Structure 1
Amino acid sequence: RFKRSGLDERLSLADFDWRFNPKLPRSACFDLHTLKFIGEGANALIIGKPGTGKSHVAKAVAYQATLQGYDVRYLEADTEFARYALASTAERTELLKDWVAPDLLILDDLFLARRISEHAAEVLQAIVHQRYKLRRAIVITSNRVVQDWGKYLGDATMASTILDRLMHRCAMLEFEGKSYRLKEAAARIAITPESS
């Protein structure tokens, strides 16, 4: 299940540094980790600044779901949607089927590249619509506030259709704070010996 999921690491909430950004919605993250929302066919939107731990939490929830016997797909959204845009009609049908079928779908870093292609926007709408009808859970992480999604999709009506279905049964988690990656980079620079 882990191999099929597309996850590249086995993360948990136990190895997350909660002290670094104390304002993160810790209890909401642990609530997601119970996986109750999957059984309810609910969704989660994890929105916030880069480097605050959104992907870590999403991957930890996804890994926990694989351990509990759920079929999971983890996608780096922009990369996979770009692959979809370049695929043949037959390949697109297969990809869409693969993204609609699992119990839990993780779309990580949606709108990382801001605008997404027309094909990507259409497949996002199809995924959300079909999974909503089947009551299958989606977790989306993004640096972009939902009010701006219409801009990134290039279609305000499509954005409201997608958000309407996503947010009908949905936990909204807001991640504010400093970037872990910048902290780690600063630590590496600090220990690099100066060249003479």
Structure 2
Amino acid sequence: MDAEQLTRGQLESEFSALARTMCFSKSTIASFAKEATRGQLVAVCDLIRDENATREENKKARLLRQARLPSLKSLSDFDFGEASMPDGHTVDDMRSLGFIESAQDFVFYGGCGRGKTHLSIAPGALATERGCKVRYFETSSLVLMLKAAAADDRLEAALKDIAKADLPIVDEYGCIPIDIEGARLLYQVMSATCEARSMIVTTNIEFGKWGTVLGDAHLATATVDRIMHRGRLVEFGGQSRRFEEALMMGRSEG
């Protein structure tokens, strides 16, 4: 049927179906640009801009879902007063996410409730906004996932999936002791990350005691060596923020 004989609704349906099939060739683009009216060019340019904007927003949403962050946090919401940044590195350096491009690591060390998890999630969320692949793991959940993958002969695939991330985040390292099998699997993740991509690790265990968490002093030394080689340490002081804001202590929700 000739296009002139189609109703508006039929034309819209045909346009939608055809648009989904197209990836325009250079010759088609050149021909249309030469023959189209000014109004047609304006309309098509607007269409393509809208499509590109939609694709970008969809990509950001997809990256954020894949990151599996437990919540959304922002660097602008974080009080750096009790966080001791490493020499030569400022908060603006962290906001720039330059450490991801240069494949450098961060270790956030301090007591429970000091904001380590917040400060690990915030750059992760920002990184997805800028098109980076992020994966968040609680250490215990990561170890369990790796053990299950190894038992099902899927370990290589699981490690490859983690390796796709520009920024793996390993939270709460040291909160629960890890057996030797889990320690070796976790070491594989950290070793593969070394110099290949950035990683953020949060912990309340000082480096000298990582052997008590991993159950193997030599494995702990090798892990620390890889993280320290291209990593920065941020130390968290002060009181527990959770305790200060606890409703059980009579604090108001507001």
Number of the residue aligned with 2:152: 89
Number of the residue aligned with 2:224: 163
Number of the residue aligned with 2:210: 149
Query: Aligned residues: percent identity?
Result: 30
Deviation of 1:66 after TM superposition, in Å, equals: 0.5
Closer/same/farther in 2, CA of residues 29 and 155 from structure 1, 3 Å limit: farther
Deviation of 1:141 after TM superposition, in Å, equals: 0.2
Q: Distance in 1 between matches of 2:171 and 2:90?
A: 18
Aligned residue among 65, 71, 74 for 1:12: 74
| Residue type at the aligned position of 1:100 | A
Number of the residue aligned with 2:84: 25
Q: Distance in 2 between matches of 1:136 and 1:191?
A: 41
| Residue type at the aligned position of 1:107 | V
Deviation of 1:119 after TM superposition, in Å, equals: 2.3
Aligned residue among 163, 169, 173 for 1:110: 173
Q: Note if contact 2:178-2:213 (Cα within 8 Å) is conserved in structure 1.
A: yes
Number of the residue aligned with 2:136: 74
Q: Note if contact 2:147-2:185 (Cα within 8 Å) is conserved in structure 1.
A: no
User: Which consecutive unaligned segments of at least 5 residues does structure 2 have?
Assistant: 1-62
> Rg larger in 1 or in 2?
2
Deviates most, 87-96 or 135-144: 87-96
Establish whether residue 190 from structure 1 lines up as the match of residue 250 from structure 2. Answer: yes
Number of the residue aligned with 1:60: 122
Structure 1 segments of 4+ aligned residues over 6 angstroms from their partners: none
Deviation of 1:132 after TM superposition, in Å, equals: 1.5
| Residue type at the aligned position of 1:168 | H
Q: Distance in 1 between matches of 2:251 and 2:112?
A: 24
Closer/same/farther in 2, CA of residues 191 and 23 from structure 1, 3 Å limit: closer
TM-score, scaled relative to structure 1: 0.87
Cα deviation, 1:22-52, whole Å, max 9, x if unaligned, reads: 3322674442232111111110100101000
Number of the residue aligned with 2:235: 174
Number of the residue aligned with 2:104: 42
Number of the residue aligned with 2:201: 140
Higher RCO structure, 1 or 2 (CA under 8 Å, sep 6+): 1
SS at match of 2:171: strand
User: Which consecutive unaligned segments of at least 5 residues does structure 1 have?
Assistant: none
Closer/same/farther in 2, CA of residues 30 and 116 from structure 1, 3 Å limit: farther
TM-score, scaled relative to structure 2: 0.68
Cα deviation, 1:109-130, whole Å, max 9, x if unaligned, reads: 01111x2022221112111221
User: Which structure carries more helix by proportion?
Assistant: 2
Aligned residue among 91, 98, 107 for 2:161: 98
